[in-house]
């Protein structure tokens, strides 16, 4: 649902700030955009604004770390980064042709919800499929629609125990689905005032990422009651720009009860306490941004333009917390060539951070898109040459390479 560079559209009517993220609901002729280089200033021509502007980015509040390609650290962080980079492929699930259970439309997310089983969220077929550790299909649930255990545009999958799944649907809902003697049944619907971009589970609380003027991360109790909203998104007064630049990722770390958040098109990683306290901010030094131009045409119509001037740019693809307090961040590098070839991205850069301190290291550009980690297994998703889940194993600590 995200806009690609190189196009300009217009809207004669500004959306209301309380509307959901319009990247899902955009009317004909309306353009939504990505981002610009951090620290860009207003242009002098015709009232144009190049985003993001420094004043609209949430304050750094002192950086815990600046993490670049040459970043190194000792101890557990560096050791795991080296093992992660050397993980070996042990299982592939997904075929170009075959039984329906083996053909994916789009691997959106993966969740290991119990020992020996993993669930795959397919956002094209609007369903969740469950497999055993050998890749054998076990069961599925979900279908297109608005009713119980139905999805319109599922975005993220988490589990809260072996029999309870939490799914964020871009239809402004979070659905909680449980396994019962009668099969999978929807136990709870959490209506939202925004379009959810990501979710995670902290303890038994549900954390949903999505832009609202009052904050970015929304905490709900296990029974769906809203508890608080924390964090901040991009602060532009233009609702179109604000919503798009506040799109992002969230991850929950049980160690230290930390919520980690990133805006998709900005290089800052932030760690929050469940009470909303900002604990640390780190920055990815090599993150490349793309220009967003906001202005008004001579006929008075406002516009938002993505990718003016071209150039490579990055966006946050993965933010995932591990059980041991480490956090995987992956940024996708987009180039003119990858756009022409209609590839998801040119390359993927992987970083590893501490959820407690924000300190981090660069892992490399060979790790596939990580969707879950359980024990020594890494579950990744790919759309090339066709949608698949690929499972890798990392060597145990101390093992020779």
Strands (E) in 69-172, as ranges, are 88-93, 107-114, 117-122, 127-132, 137-141, 154-159, 164-169
**What tokens appear for 73 in the block?**
């650290």
Judged against a pLDDT cut of 90, whether residue 291 lies above it is answered with no
- Please give the Cα distance from 155 to 195 (Å, whole number): 10
More confident: 312 or 390: 390
- In this prediction, residue 293 carries a pLDDT of 87
- In this prediction, residue 44 carries a pLDDT of 36
Percentage of residues in the chain with pLDDT exceeding 90? 63
More confident: 19 or 365: 365
- Please give the Cα distance from 213 to 350 (Å, whole number): 31
Sheet holding 388-393, edge to edge: 88-93, 388-393, 377-382, 370-374
Compute φ and ψ for 358, nearest 5 degrees. Answer: 85, -5
- In this prediction, residue 24 carries a pLDDT of 28
Domains with residue ranges and CATH for the chain: 64-280+312-393 (2.120.10.30)
For 298-308, the pLDDT digits (tens) are: 888 888 887 66
- In this prediction, residue 399 carries a pLDDT of 64
How sure is the predictor about 349, in pLDDT bands with cuts at 50, 70 and 90?
very high
Of 36, 9, 45, 29, nearest to 309 by C-alpha is: 36
- In this prediction, residue 13 carries a pLDDT of 33
For 84-120, the pLDDT digits (tens) are: 999 999 999 999 999 999 999 999 999 999 989 999 9
Sheet holding 226-230, edge to edge: 198-202, 205-212, 215-220, 226-230
The predicted model scores a pTM of 0.86
How sure is the predictor about 356, in pLDDT bands with cuts at 50, 70 and 90?
very high
Mean pLDDT over the full length of the chain: 85
**What tokens appear for 330 in the block?**
């992956």
């Amino acid at each position: 649902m995200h806009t690609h560079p190189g196009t300009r559209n217009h809207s004669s009517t500004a959306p209301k700030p309380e509307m959901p993220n319009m990247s899902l609901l955009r009317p004909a002729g309306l353009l939504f955009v990505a981002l610009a280089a951090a620290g860009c200033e207003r242009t002098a021509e015709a009232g144009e604004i190049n985003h993001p502007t420094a004043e609209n980015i949430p304050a750094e509040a002192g950086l815990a770390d600046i993490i670049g390609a040459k970043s190194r650290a000792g101890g557990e962080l560096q050791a795991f980064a080296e093992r992660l980079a050397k993980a070996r492929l042990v299982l592939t699930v997904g075929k170009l042709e075959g039984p329906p259970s083996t053909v994916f439309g789009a691997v959106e997310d993966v969740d290991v919800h119990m020992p020996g089983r993993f669930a795959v969220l397919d956002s094209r077929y609007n369903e969740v499929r469950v497999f055993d550790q050998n890749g054998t299909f076990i069961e599925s649930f979900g279908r297109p629609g608005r009713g119980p255990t139905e999805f319109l545009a599922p975005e993220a999958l988490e589990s809260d125990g072996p029999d309870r799944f939490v799914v964020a649907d871009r239809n402004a809902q979070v659905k909680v689905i449980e396994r019962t003697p009668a099969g999978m049944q929807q136990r709870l619907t959490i209506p939202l005032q925004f379009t959810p971009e990501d979710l995670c589970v902290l303890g038994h609380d549900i954390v949903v990422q999505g832009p609202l003027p009052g904050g970015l991360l929304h905490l709900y109790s296990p029974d769906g009651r809203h508890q608080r909203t924390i964090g901040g998104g991009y602060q532009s007064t233009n609702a179109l720009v604000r919503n798009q630049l506040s799109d992002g990722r969230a991850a929950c770390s049980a160690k230290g009860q930390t919520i980690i958040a990133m805006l998709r098109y900005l290089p800052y990683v932030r760690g929050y306490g469940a009470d909303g306290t900002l604990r640390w901010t780190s920055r990815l030094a090599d993150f490349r941004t793309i220009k967003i131009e906001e202005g008004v045409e001579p006929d008075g119509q406002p516009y938002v333009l993505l990718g003016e001037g071209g150039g490579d740019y990055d966006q946050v693809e993965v933010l995932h917390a591990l059980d041991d307090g480490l956090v995987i961040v992956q940024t996708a590098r987009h180039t003119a060539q990858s756009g022409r070839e209609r590839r998801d991205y040119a390359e993927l850069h992987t970083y590893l951070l501490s959820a407690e301190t924000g300190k981090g290291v660069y892992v490399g550009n060979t790790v596939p898109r990580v969707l879950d980690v359980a024990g020594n297994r890494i579950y990744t998703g790919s759309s090339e040459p066709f949608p698949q889940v690929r499972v890798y194993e990392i060597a145990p600590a101390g093992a020779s390479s």
